[in-house]
Chains A and B, each alone.
Chain A
């Protein structure tokens, strides 16, 4: 007797989307979440685009901390360039949002267990057949026809299945974020600080969170994290630029800005979201890509349950459909992020000085990139590809 059709490891957006799709298709589904709560701690800047979110769920007012209509980018010398954003975006309350997605999965029939730490897989004949986990100090084992690993940046479940998930230092952002109160900022604007002096090999963000609050965070590329500590950088930034702000929460975390793993399936298992390295390598955003891939993984699990083929071959639709849906774009973005890493502070200041002269209404994304391209000609090719869809 097999306990579950599908066991999803991880109760973030990727895991709960996968569980929702699997349960909706009639699969007996269980989500195992290692933390006490779904949605907490929030290791995330919490910004998403309206368009991205709307593909999967109708945005609900209770999830939304702030609605974004403006984007500001700052150069290393603090020249501010403002863009009107045609598409609205949101800064979410992930705590509430993740709960809502988990609730949605449970209403489709999925079971959820929190405080369940997966520490091993049941593997027979080179095929994943279940999970081993600890619950309140007790060791438990459950069998499953399929396991979906949505265990986030750590991505240990994939490793247990023999997949290579270890991320190179230069593909990892070492990040720190404080949620602060008593701050006077434009609550409709997200603010990016780009350059080595703000965040070496990454960027610093100030995202509004409603009620005079904000998420202020930054990421430092792993190869520079030895010399620059994201915790100290963010504390100094807040002290210098928002001395009246009070810190309500702080979290640290890693943002994998890597290429998606070469293999995201093995016999009996699919990897999704951060665990599969699906974060947008330019923006560091992983909510939408995780939801998208999670949904696909859930749908593919239903098809596999029908055929009874849980081998890598039987699951081949997952990587294929992910590549079509987001993977190809992801590859282009990774190339762009590689090129951006080489742009010096001096070049960024020159770009900002040029953009400052362009009237705000004409500051389209394409204009930014053409300006960037005059400074860094070699990335023009990739940018063109990204915008024309090859």
Chain B
């Protein structure tokens, strides 16, 4: 679980961390692996992904629909739901 906490620290805002701690929804980013191609940004229905050349952030209005996770060509995005399944 330590890894997940670290990723929240680096890829989400304070409010998003709060939402995560309350057991609310969240998509996470594997650090240092994103190629910044923008495909997830293009399919996000609520414009909740912000991408700069060296930084990708999932914003607070994420609705956890997972389609960015599916479309990512290199599986850098993942859902905390999947992570919990793995840990169980």
Do residues A166 and B43 form an inter-chain contact, with CB atoms below 8 A?
yes
Chain B, Cβ-Cβ closest to A254: B39
Contact indicator per residue, chain A 34-71, by CB within 8 Å of chain B (1) or not (0): 11100001010000000000000000000000000000
* Cα–Cα distance between A44 and B80 once the two chains are bound (Å): 32
* Cα–Cα distance between A175 and B74 once the two chains are bound (Å): 9
- Interface positions, chain B 4-61, Cβ under 8 Å from A, are 35, 37-45, 47, 50-53
Chain B, Cβ-Cβ closest to A220: B73
Chain A, Cβ-Cβ closest to B75: A229
List chain B residues, Cβ under 8 A from A43. 37
**Any B CB within 8 A of the CB of A208:** no
Do residues A172 and B38 form an inter-chain contact, with CB atoms below 8 A?
no
* Cα–Cα distance between A321 and B69 once the two chains are bound (Å): 37
Contact indicator per residue, chain A 125-158, by CB within 8 Å of chain B (1) or not (0): 0000000001000000000000000001111100
Given A117, A134, A254, which contacts B71 in the complex, CB threshold below 8 Å? A254
Do residues B70 and A251 form an inter-chain contact, with CB atoms below 8 A?
no
List chain B residues, Cβ under 8 A from A324. none
Do residues A154 and B45 form an inter-chain contact, with CB atoms below 8 A?
no
**Any A CB within 8 A of the CB of B67:** yes
Q: State how many angstroms separate the Cβ of A120 from the closest Cβ of chain B.
A: 11
Do residues B52 and A166 form an inter-chain contact, with CB atoms below 8 A?
no
Given B37, B38, B71, which contacts A222 in the complex, CB threshold below 8 Å? B71
Given B38, B72, B75, which contacts A154 in the complex, CB threshold below 8 Å? B38
Q: Residues on A close to B: CB < 8 A?
A: 34-36, 41, 43, 117, 119, 134, 152-156, 159, 165-169, 172, 174-176, 220, 222-223, 225-226, 229-231, 251-254, 256
Selected A-B contacts with CB under 8 Å, 5 pairs: A154-B41, A169-B43, A176-B74, A223-B70, A254-B38
